[in-house]
Amino acid sequence: MFELLGQMWQFIQNPAPEPSFISETVIYLQLCIVSTLLAIVVALPLGILVAQRQISAFLLTNFTGLMRAVPTLVFFALAYPYLGLGFKPAVIALTVIGIPPILLNTIAGLRGIDAATVDAARGMGMTSLQVLWRIQIPLTLPVVAAGVRTAAVQIVATAPLAALIGGAGYGDYIIGGLGLINIPIVLAGVIPVALLALLFEVALAGVQRLLTPAGLRVSQPSAEEAPTQAAASSDQPLAA
Amino acid sequence: MAKIAFRDVTKTYEGAKAAAVDHVSFTVREGAICMLLGTSGSGKTTLLRMVNRLIDPTSGEIQINGIATTAQNPIELRRGIGYVIQQVGLFPHLSIEDNVRVVPSILGKSASETRERVDELLRLVGLDPAEYRKRYPRQLSGGQQQRVGLARALAADPEVLLMDEPFGALDAITRERMQDELLRIQQGVRKTILFVTHDVEEALKLGDQIVVMSDGKLIQEGTPVELLARPADDFVRKLLGADNILRQFEYLPVTAALEPATHNGADGAGERIAADTSLLQAMLRLMQSDATALTIENGDKTIAGQVSLASISRGLRAGGGHLVDAGVTPDVEPESAGDAAPVSR
Ligand SMILES: Nc1ncnc2c1ncn2[C@@H]1O[C@H](COP(=O)(O)OP(=O)(O)OP(=O)(O)O)[C@@H](O)[C@H]1O
Ligand SMILES: [Mg+2]
């Protein structure tokens, strides 16, 4: 085992003819970060747009879910004639992977807000934009952050495949190493990927916590009172 | 303060067969608490939400101080109307302070400008600012949340307050305490309040005016005493428990059992009580003292007559178990269903 790690370390120091470890790391991070950001940019507004529309939300979540279900390799193969090789198609494929968790969580987060809260906000005289900024976004953000965290970790874990279409990154080592049946080279790719996935997970869990408003973090003193929509007779107290 | 007038207000929800609110007309006096009382589904919430245009009427109009609500920008309109919803609806991510100052803050006031106002409001609703300002809604009990909801509605000092079953979720004891507090607060702030309830006791206790609704229609409108003394029909009679003698004693004034004074009250033979004292209080007084009769005194210190246990039982027998309050001025005829009477001022 230590021998393997030692060989891996030697390889990392001089990976020629493969690209240098630093440059692969930079590319890998770029791939992951750009894809995650793109997934946010696409999924968040889409989620806000369709959250209150049952049918569009249903269609969209299923469509993006299906896109994800297409194995990434197949996706690369299908996209190749249109997008060619390199960084760009790799980013697009990874973005597709990142969209569903963010989209689903945006929709779930917005729908999870108590209708009474929004009703009160509107009744108070907030404009739709104010309701969005002051109420809906702060209440949804922690849920969206959880989606981003899932998306990012999945992207990090899938990104080695990008090397197949010339997207480079650690995938170069993994695929190259597998081709040569050279375990240390494979490890030089696999171990950084695992560490990076862990790092993203921990960092984004922190972000999620930061984005959770203090008021949502506090524990509840007592069970919530049940809604009292039941048609109770007039003289009966409606205690939960 | 503001006067609210409903003029032939109708709301039919899209796809609904019957109107949820059906040609309703009445006026709420400035500074009055008007209770919207009715069974579930009678259209109370719909009527209330038309006032701040969360719902727009299908026909008819609502005027606040003579200006139709539809002539105003709904956002501006709502900022001038306090709204307490049944489910409280506090913003869970905001501190109590920020919850209370929501309306001032959307009107552009900074936290430092509103700090004193927030403290004043929290004290008004019976919460110690030092202790509660920085807490979050989830750290409060249901009753405390209701109080904050009320403070939030009062923050921008609106002339009109809409309250939709605000105490519905509370246990009986807390509810009663909140009712007392509302009356106390109203003494100071004098808002025009529209208050939805399906609790008759609550309506009788808080209301200066009660509007009885059924199936979207206004069945009867008047003061608690008017409704108890002259229920327009069997529905109102049953709903209010107008035949409940104890309830009559509690809400009807002594003038309901008025008899001519046998002595002028100046000879000290009878204790004097105000004409708006409840029958129940008068009876308790009669039973606790040696006096056989109490002299009833009008607001201007003239003598209206007297009340005795005998006169009360005579009144009961004459009305067949139902007291008819002589103090209810006959010119306030109860409106009957579908009666789009011109709104009196
Ligand atoms: N958004 C809506 N769309 C369609 N119908 C509605 C809507 N809101 C209420 N209704 C219907 O309008 C009628 C009156 O409802 P409303 O909520 O005003 O009654 P309510 O008197 O407040 O009842 P409750 O005491 O149960 O709150 C009911 O028949 C209800 O089903
Ligand atoms: Mg209602």
* Cα A237 to averaged position of ligand 1 atoms, centre (Å): 21
Reported as a pLDDT band with limits 50, 70 and 90, residue A80 is confident
Q: Which residue has the higher pLDDT, B88 or A126?
A: A126
Where is the domain boundary, B240, B261, B280? B240
Would you say residue B261 lies in a domain?
A: yes
Q: What is the pLDDT of residue A222?
A: 42
Would you say residue B275 lies in a domain?
A: yes
Q: What is the pLDDT of residue B60?
A: 95
The one-letter amino acid at A210: L
DSSP state for residue B256 in the 8-state scheme: G
* DSSP β-bridge partners for residue B164: B196
Q: For residue B42, give the ligand 1 atom closest to its CA.
A: 21
Q: What is the mean pLDDT of residues B280-308?
A: 85
What CATH code would you report for A7-12+20-231? 1.10.3720.10
Are B38 and B114 in the same domain? yes
CATH code of residue B219: 3.40.50.300
User: Is A139–B92 a contact, with Cβ atoms under 8 angstroms apart?
Assistant: yes
**Block residue for tokens 């709301």:** B11
Are B64 and B194 in the same domain? yes
Would you say residue B145 lies in a domain?
A: yes
Return the structure tokens found at B232: 């327009």
Which H or E run includes B161?
A: strand B160-164
Q: Are A97 and A72 in contact (CB under 8 A)?
A: yes
Is 70 exceeded by the pLDDT of residue B249?
A: yes
Are B198 and B276 in the same domain? no
Length reported for chain B: 345
* Bond into A17 cis (ω within 30): yes
- Which residue, by CA, sits nearest to atom 11 of ligand 1? B20
Length reported for chain A: 240
User: Is B79–A135 a contact, with Cβ atoms under 8 angstroms apart?
Assistant: no
Distance CA B166, CA B182 (A): 11
Please tell me which residue of chain A has the smallest CA distance to B171: A239
**Backbone dihedral angles phi then psi of residue B101, each to the nearest 5 degrees:** -95, 20
* DSSP β-bridge partners for residue B105: none
Are B187 and B274 in the same domain? no
Closest CA to A32 of A159, A168, A147: A159
Q: What angle do CA B312, B313, B318 make, to 5 degrees?
A: 100
User: Is A122–B54 a contact, with Cβ atoms under 8 angstroms apart?
Assistant: yes
Range of the domain at B298: 245-318
Q: Which residue has the higher pLDDT, B328 or B70?
A: B70
Q: For residue B38, give the ligand 1 atom closest to its CA.
A: 21
In chain A, which residues have their Cβ closer than 8 Å to the Cβ of B83?
Answer: 120, 123-124
Q: For residue A229, give the ligand 1 atom closest to its CA.
A: 26
Where is the domain boundary, B216, B240, B264? B240
Distance CA A78, CA B176 (A): 70
The one-letter amino acid at B171: D
Helices assigned H by DSSP within chain B: 44-51, 74-79, 96-100, 102-106, 111-124, 129-132, 142-154, 172-189, 200-206, 224-229, 234-240, 245-251, 279-288, 309-318
Is 60 exceeded by the pLDDT of residue A83?
A: yes
If one counts every other C-beta atom within 10 angstroms of the C-beta of residue A217, the result is 12
Q: Count Cα atoms within 13 angstroms, Cβ side, for A61.
A: 18
* DSSP letters spanning A116-155: HHHHHHHHTT--HHHIIIIIIHHHHHHHHHHHHHHHHHHH
Mutation choice for B interface testing from A117, A124, A224 by most B CBs within 10 A: A124
Q: For residue B44, give the ligand 1 atom closest to its CA.
A: 21
Where is the domain boundary, B207, B240, B273? B240
Are B159 and B257 in the same domain? no
- ipTM, two decimals: 0.76
Give the rounded distance of the alpha carbon of B264 from its chain centre. 37
Q: Are B222 and B344 in contact (CB under 8 A)?
A: no
Is 90 exceeded by the pLDDT of residue B28?
A: yes
Q: What is the mean pLDDT of residues A179-205?
A: 88
Q: What percent of chain A has pLDDT over 70?
A: 91
The one-letter amino acid at B343: V
User: Is B138–A139 a contact, with Cβ atoms under 8 angstroms apart?
Assistant: no
Give the rounded distance of the alpha carbon of B77 from its chain centre. 22
Is 90 exceeded by the pLDDT of residue B102?
A: yes
In chain A, which residues have their Cβ closer than 8 Å to the Cβ of B162?
Answer: 123
Would you say residue B337 lies in a domain?
A: no
Q: Which residue has the higher pLDDT, A202 or A60?
A: A202
Closest CA to B25 of B50, B8, B12, B38: B8
Are B305 and B224 in the same domain? no
User: A90-112 burial, b for 16+ CB within 10 Å, e for fewer?
Assistant: bbbbbbbbbbbbbbbbbbbbbee
A144-186 pLDDT per residue, tens: 999 999 999 999 988 888 887 777 788 888 888 888 888 888 8
- Sequence-distant (6+) residues with CB within 8 A of B225 are B251, B252, B253, B325, B327, B328
Give the closest of A123, A228, A238 to B85, CB-based. Answer: A123
Q: Which residue has the higher pLDDT, A27 or A16?
A: A27
CATH code of residue B260: 3.90.1280.20
Q: Tell me which of A15-29, A100-114, B18-32 is least confident.
A: A15-29
Phi-psi category of B210—alpha, beta or left, where left has phi over 0 and alpha has psi -120 to 50? Answer: beta
Return the structure tokens found at B299: 């607001």
Helices assigned H by DSSP within chain A: 2-13, 21-50, 54-69, 72-83, 87-112, 115-123, 128-130, 137-158, 171-179, 183-211, 214-217
Which H or E run includes B337?
A: none
Are B101 and B199 in the same domain? yes
First-to-last alpha carbon distance for chain B, in angstroms, is: 15
* Cα B141 to averaged position of ligand 1 atoms, centre (Å): 28
Distance CA B118, CA B151 (A): 8
**Backbone dihedral angles phi then psi of residue B165, each to the nearest 5 degrees:** 40, 55
Are B60 and B102 in the same domain? yes
Reported as a pLDDT band with limits 50, 70 and 90, residue B29 is very high
DSSP state for residue B253 in the 8-state scheme: B
Would you say residue B339 lies in a domain?
A: no
- Sequence-distant (6+) residues with CB within 8 A of B190 are B1, B31
Would you say residue B344 lies in a domain?
A: no
Is 50 exceeded by the pLDDT of residue A207?
A: yes
In chain A, which residues have their Cβ closer than 8 Å to the Cβ of B38?
Answer: none
Q: Count Cα atoms within 13 angstroms, Cβ side, for A137.
A: 10
Distance CA A238, CA A222 (A): 17
| Cα distances (angstroms) measured from residue A237 to each of A240, B39, B45, B125 | 9, 15, 20, 22
Would you say residue B329 lies in a domain?
A: no
Q: Which residue has the higher pLDDT, B213 or A58?
A: B213
Q: What percent of chain B has pLDDT over 70?
A: 90
Are B231 and B289 in the same domain? no
Name the domain count of chain B. Answer: 2
User: Is B106–A117 a contact, with Cβ atoms under 8 angstroms apart?
Assistant: no
Q: What is the pLDDT of residue B320?
A: 64
Q: What is the pLDDT of residue B321?
A: 64
Return the structure tokens found at B141: 């009990």
Phi-psi category of A96—alpha, beta or left, where left has phi over 0 and alpha has psi -120 to 50? Answer: alpha
Are B191 and B270 in the same domain? no
Please tell me which residue of chain A has the smallest CA distance to B91: A117
Is 70 exceeded by the pLDDT of residue B269?
A: no
Distance CA A206, CA A149 (A): 10
* DSSP β-bridge partners for residue B211: B36, B221
Return the structure tokens found at B44: 């109370």
Would you say residue B151 lies in a domain?
A: yes
Residue B203 Cβ < 6 Å to ligand 1: no
